[in-house]
Every structure is written in structure tokens, then in C-alpha cells.
């Protein structure tokens, strides 16, 4: 009788140990979960194309004005970091904070055939002239470059409004991570989609293509 009882206890113990091992193996086999800072829109990795060409477009990312920089500052994801830099660039421009706005532009920054010094000189004059302006950034898409992890290109639609007029521009910017870790703007291209200009007491709106440096 005692032998039967011991055998029963051994069987129970074996079943318990087997169940525990099965549970642990199931938990350990779970895929690693990547924790990223909470943002108001999904930020996705950008696929790249071999051969050094620009990568395919990523999924859409919400306008950077909807993301708080406090939630992005500690992220190691380059797209999240560049998105934060783009948001701060827009904010400092809208606030007409010239020193902060200028700091977003790398020493080799160029827009069209205009270099950094000439571009910023024009912007300073505009900041001093305009009592206010509003800038909205939407439809942001990020592109990557094969073999260049510290460079990303943003494509987006920019809407600008001031007392003197408004415009809608499709813009492309190349951002690069500096030696200090911050992201700086190196290159900017734009295509004017539509423009409205103050005419008397009202505004005249017209579709227009090309580059616009008045704002």
C-alpha cells in the first residue's frame, strides 16, 4: 500500500514538473517585444533599396505637430528622432524664433541654388516683417538611403498662412544626424501647389507650380 501511495505521489510530481517546464518553454519562446515611446501616430521603419538609392516610401506618419518632443527625446529610433526634429523646426519657424530656427540648418544647408547664409538672411527679414504666421505639416513620408543610417529624407505637404498671403507646398527635406547626435537639415526642395495673395480687401487664390521663396 505504501509503495502504491509513493508511486502516485511520484506521478503527480512528474506531471507538475512537466507542466512547469512546458509553461516556461512557452514563455521563453515568445518573440521579443520592442517598446517605443507613445506617440499619437504609428512610426514605422523605412525599407531601403540596395545599391545606395533612396528607399521606398514608408507608411504615412501624422503631422509632427501632433507629437510631443518629451515622448521622443529618449528614443533611439532614427525616424522618431528625425520626426521630432521636423516638429521642432516647424514650431520654431511658426514662433518666429530665429535663433532656434537657424540652428536646425546645417552649415552646408542649401535650398535650390541658395546657400545657408543667404537663406537665413531672407528668413530673418521675413520674421521681422510678419506679425504672425502659421505653418502646418501633413502627409509626412520618410525615405532611407542604403548604407547611410544617419540620413533620412522627409516628404510632406506644407501649408503656410500670414497676413500677406498663404500657400500650399509639397516639400522634400534631407535630414542628417550630426556628430553631437542631433538632426540637422541639409537640403530642401519644394514645389508650389497653390497660392493666395492679398489683393485689396480680399485674397486672390491661384494654382501655381514652381519654387516659392517669399515665405
Nearest to 159 by CA among 189, 134, 179: 134
CB atoms within 10 A of CB 211: 12
Q: Identify the residue whose cell numbers are 487664390.
A: 205
What is the per-residue pLDDT for 12? 45
Nearest to 139 by CA among 91, 171, 111: 171
**Rounded CA gap, 48 and 148, in Å?**
10
Where b means 16+ CB within 10 Å and e means fewer, 118-144 reads: ebbeebeebbeeeeebebebeebbbbb
Beta carbons of 141 and 58 less than 8 angstroms apart: yes
What cell numbers appear for 118 in the block?
A: 543667404
Q: Is the pTM for the entire model greater than 0.75?
A: no
What is the per-residue pLDDT for 145? 87
- Residue stretches of the chain with pLDDT short of 50: 1-6, 11-12, 14-15, 17, 20-21, 23-72, 199-201, 205, 207, 209-212, 215
What is the per-residue pLDDT for 74? 55
What is the per-residue pLDDT for 44? 37
What is the per-residue pLDDT for 7? 52
pLDDT tens digits for range 171-206: 999 999 999 889 999 999 999 999 886 544 455 545
**Rounded CA gap, 158 and 164, in Å?**
17
What is the per-residue pLDDT for 4? 42
What is the per-residue pLDDT for 208? 52
Amino acid at each position: 500500500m505504501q509503495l502504491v501511495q509513493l508511486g502516485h505521489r511520484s506521478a503527480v510530481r512528474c506531471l507538475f514538473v512537466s507542466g512547469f517546464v512546458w509553461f516556461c518553454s512557452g514563455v521563453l519562446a515568445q518573440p521579443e517585444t520592442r517598446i517605443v515611446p507613445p506617440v499619437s501616430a504609428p512610426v514605422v521603419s523605412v525599407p531601403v533599396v540596395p545599391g545606395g538609392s533612396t528607399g521606398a516610401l514608408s507608411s504615412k506618419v501624422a503631422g509632427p505637430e501632433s507629437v510631443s518632443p518629451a515622448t521622443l527625446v529618449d528614443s533611439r529610433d532614427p525616424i522618431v528622432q528625425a520626426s521630432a526634429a521636423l516638429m521642432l523646426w516647424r514650431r520654431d519657424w511658426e514662433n518666429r524664433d530665429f535663433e532656434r530656427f537657424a540652428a536646425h540648418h546645417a552649415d552646408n544647408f542649401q535650398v535650390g541654388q541658395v546657400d545657408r547664409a543667404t537663406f537665413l538672411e531672407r528668413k530673418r527679414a521675413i520674421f521681422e516683417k510678419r506679425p504672425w504666421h502659421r505653418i502646418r505639416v501633413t502627409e509626412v513620408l520618410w525615405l532611407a538611403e542604403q548604407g547611410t543610417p544617419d540620413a533620412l529624407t522627409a516628404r510632406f505637404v506644407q501649408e503656410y498662412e500670414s497676413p500677406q498671403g498663404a500657400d500650399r507646398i509639397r516639400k522634400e527635406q534631407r535630414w542628417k544626424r550630426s556628430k553631437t547626435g542631433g538632426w540637422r537639415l541639409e537640403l530642401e526642395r519644394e514645389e508650389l501647389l497653390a497660392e493666395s495673395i492679398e489683393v485689396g480687401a480680399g485674397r486672390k487664390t491661384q494654382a501655381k507650380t514652381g519654387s516659392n521663396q517669399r515665405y
